[in-house]
Copies of this chain bind each other. A is one copy, B any other.
Amino acid sequence: MITFTTDFGTRDWFVGTMKGVVLGINPQARIVDITHEISCGDISAGAFALAASCHFFPNGSIHVAVVDPGVGSTRKGIAVKTRNYVFVGPDNGVLSLAIGKHEIEAIHSLENEAYFLKPVSTTFHGRDIFSPVAAHLSRGVQLKKFGPQKSNFVELKWSAPRRLKNGISGEVLYIDKFGNSITNIRGEILGRSPNRVCQVLGKKVIRCPLVDFYQTVPLGKPAAIMSSSGFLEIAVNGGSAEKQLGLKLGIRVVVLSSHT
């Protein structure tokens, strides 16, 4: 199985073409779109989407992520084998958040043109390099055939949440289609205590309870909730936290340890 996470959109023929290339090499490949609607060139959002979804796929899946504003320049392509998956894409950080959750077995640079579609364009390595490499991998070609081993890869820097005297402070990392604003605060570090309150430090300070599901609060009211990605999110029941609370990436969110 091969998954795709890109910023190519579905408006043009780019994604269809990548699938044609894969199926020309391996007609048995199963291809699943994670998303193609990452904002143009937004490597962080692509990295977040892949990290939030990759582990829901069966072992042996090949995850291809292409958010690649540097296509054609000197940045290399890489393939990274972890215990359960192989990750394929440009070495610009887009794979790093997902890989960081798994044990790495090998990192290889993609240099062997025998496995590329030729002529290789300078603008569409998703079609000419990453798709054919993934297709050959899915047919059982060994990782070492694609290029020399490497010892590291480009990693995105993510701000970690900080412990305050009266709670934990994080920030909004990703805003989804519903306007739910996902923070960098993982559920584990919150522990379990009732009556928590969140402060969202946007233009105005908004206070909201930490609840178990959206409809715990009245329609149109904000709530903090453990999102399905494992991170705390700020939501509005039946509405959009992004629009109604004016939330943006980077806005600070504080979980207070008790009512204060």
User: Which A residues form the contact surface with B (CB < 8 A)?
Assistant: 1, 3, 5, 8-17, 19-21, 23-24, 27, 30, 32-37, 40-41, 49-50, 52-53, 56-58, 61, 69-73, 121-124, 127-128, 176-178, 212-216, 225-228, 238, 240
Contacts and interface: CB of A to CB of B under 8 A. Distances in A.
A121 B228 contact: yes
A10 B23 contact: no
A56 B21 contact: yes
**Chain A facing B: main interface SS:** loop
A56 B226 CA distance: 38
Contact of A69 (B35, B124, B215): B215
Nearest to A52: B13
A14 B228 CA distance: 9
Given A10-B10, A57-B23, A213-B71, A124 B16 contact: no
A58 B23 contact: yes
Given A24-B58, A228-B127, A35 B10 contact: yes
